[in-house]
Amino acid sequence: MAAGAARERPGSETIKEGIERAPHRALLHAVGLTRAELRRPFVAVISAFNEIIPGHRHLREVIQAVKDGIRMAGGVPFECHCPSICDGIAMNHPGMRYSLPSRELIADCAEAMVRAHAFDAVVFVPNCDKVVPGMLLAAARLNLPSVFASGGPMLAGDFRGLKVDLSDVFNALGALRKGEMTPEELEELEGVACPGCGSCAGMFTANTMNCLLEALGLAPSGNGTAPAVSAERLRLAKEAGTAVMRILKDGGPLPREILAPEAFENAFRVDLALGGSTNTVLHLLALAEEAGVPFPLARINELSDSTPRLCALSPAGPHHMEDLHRAGGISAMTGELAGGGLLHLDAPTVSGPLRQRLRRARDREVISPLNSPRSPVGGIAVLFGSLAPEGAVVKRGAVAEGMLRHRGPARVFDSEAEAVRAIGARDFRDGDVIVIRYVGPRGAPGMPEMLTPTALLSGMGVDDRVALVTDGRFSGATRGAAIGHVSPEAACSGPIAAVRDGDRIEIDIPGKRLDLLIPEGEVERRLSAWEPREPDTPPGYLPRYAAQIASAARGAILAKEGG
């Protein structure tokens, strides 16, 4: 949409101007607005504040700073809220089914609040896993002047002189079962791993998405890495408030102008160089579909093969978000990638073209030079083959070298709970490929994260000898040969539904292949006798979600009518 079109869009005058709007103005007076304020733009500040999630517990201060910035620039801010879920707290019980589906609820809630109250512009204040992508979907849908001001990452904890985070606690469960940690040590670790507010300190999904907001161009520089507890975080929030007013005055750039193909390529390149969460594949594909930008899943491999991984951030290495920020953050990452001609530098952002944001890295231990990377290829790969005709995703930057190519017998489970019990009892063998199915977007429903089984394998020290394949997804904290998003999923009669114990599965991450090694025609023969497995789903939102959800290969977005 051209910038001039933004000025023609009906805004808050819809509810403020004319004799027939006297009842509307009466209600606005009731919330304390003066007549002078009624003449100013109305800006929604859509937040995910709540008191149970560490990433959101501190957002009141961030929200207030955003509102201060809006008022400084002549606008009238209105705080609104949407639901949010902590994946860590929801992990490994039925609550995890609601995590990915909450993305659509967040988008719908934001859309409803903004359209019903005729706001002129929006500042989104997210922080955790599904809140950032949910708000991104809303921004693309609304296409109003929009800026993001995230809550920022948690600091790393300190356990006996070692930097730790939430993933270390999950991994400790396996170490405890193996006898390498005592219950007393686990209790000590859990007390220090998450030292305060913010999104968990590694390059997990929340922090990856907050970083990609910068790469996409919808947030100020520093948004992804400035610690939650820092004064810089509050200054960034004020900057977001003033920026949205500037965009409103200038008539753009609007979200769909920013979310062009070049922005998605920039975001994926930064993601690949960071070694970010595999969940970003789901979220960026969903956003591309919402924004009307064609972006096939296979394109990620093309980008990954030409994008070196420059970081080793937890869980794939020793560094944390505070280290990345100290090294220069995403501005330094984009500066390094730009030096190799890997980015579209004229791509618009909320504060000018991307080229204006480039910085030099300040710590080469954290951000490696382009000519001496951690890996010559990016941190994510998409696999295709007879087991995943529509694709599967792996965080190859967190896979042991010896597991990049692996062939082994399948050990099949029809639920996460069954797999966790078997792994906890060491009911598997070295070389096995553990298969967890019926946990996809439709099958679970809700595509829960499989962090507990992967963390058990890591904690037991076998993630370099045992692979895990699933039609579910993984936490950004997952490491090892963990391959998710297998599509089509089992609930949609994908080949993964035909796998039996003992079948040989071949994983070839460099070759981008995932194959079931059984005789030709055997999959079709088995599936001809296959019957759908009804999930144990409580009435309410999840059955409605399952009836509408599209494949993970399309970002698990709600399918449009006829789509």
Reported as a single tens digit per residue, the pLDDT across 101-135 is: 999 999 999 999 999 999 999 999 999 989 999 99
Short-list 487, 523, 273, CA closest to 391: 487
Rounded CA separation 323/559 (Å) = 40
Cα maximum dimension of the chain: 77
pTM to 2 decimal places: 0.95
What does the alpha-carbon distance between residue 44 and residue 124 come to, in Å, rounded to a whole number? 8
Instruction: Provide CB contacts within 8 A for 25, sequence distance 6+.
Output: 16, 38
| Helix (H/G/I), strand (E/B), else coil: 233 | helix
Structure tokens at 157: 């904890």
Active site residue 475: yes
pLDDT given at position 259: 98
Query: Which residues have CB under 8 Å from 227's CB, separation 6+?
Result: 152, 153, 154, 155, 198, 233, 321, 322, 325
Contact 487, 392 (CB under 8 A): yes
The C-alpha atoms of residue 377 and residue 512 are separated, in whole angstroms, by 13
Short-list 234, 252, 50, 42, CA closest to 147: 252
How many whole angstroms separate alpha carbon 376 and alpha carbon 273? 10
Token pair of 57 as six digits: 């517990």
The amino acid sitting at 108 is D
Positions of the chain with pLDDT under 50: 1-8, 562-563
Q: Which residues of 123-159 are buried (b: 16+ CB within 10 A; e: fewer)?
A: bbbbbbbbbbbbbbbbbbbbbbbbbbbbbbbbbbbeb
Q: What is the pLDDT of residue 5?
A: 37
Amino acid 16 reads: K
Where b means 16+ CB within 10 Å and e means fewer, 526-559 reads eeeeeeeeebebeeebbeebbeebbbbbbbbbbe
Report pLDDT for 271. 97
Nearest to 311 by CA among 324, 322, 301: 324
Q: Whole-angstrom Cα distance, residue 337 to residue 269?
A: 8
Distance CA 193, CA 436 (A): 29
Set 84, 351, 368, 475: catalytic member: 475
Strand partners, 382: 393
Measured between alpha carbons, how far apart are the two ends of the chain, in Å? Answer: 24
Q: How far is CA 374 from CA 115, 219, 295, 301, 365, in A?
A: 46, 27, 27, 18, 10
Radius of gyration, CA atoms only, the chain = 23
Question: Which residue's structure tokens are 């309410």?
Answer: 540
| Residue 9 pLDDT | 59
Residues whose CB falls within 8 Å of the CB of residue 405, separated by 6 or more in sequence, listed in order: 507, 508, 509, 510, 511
pLDDT at 500: 98
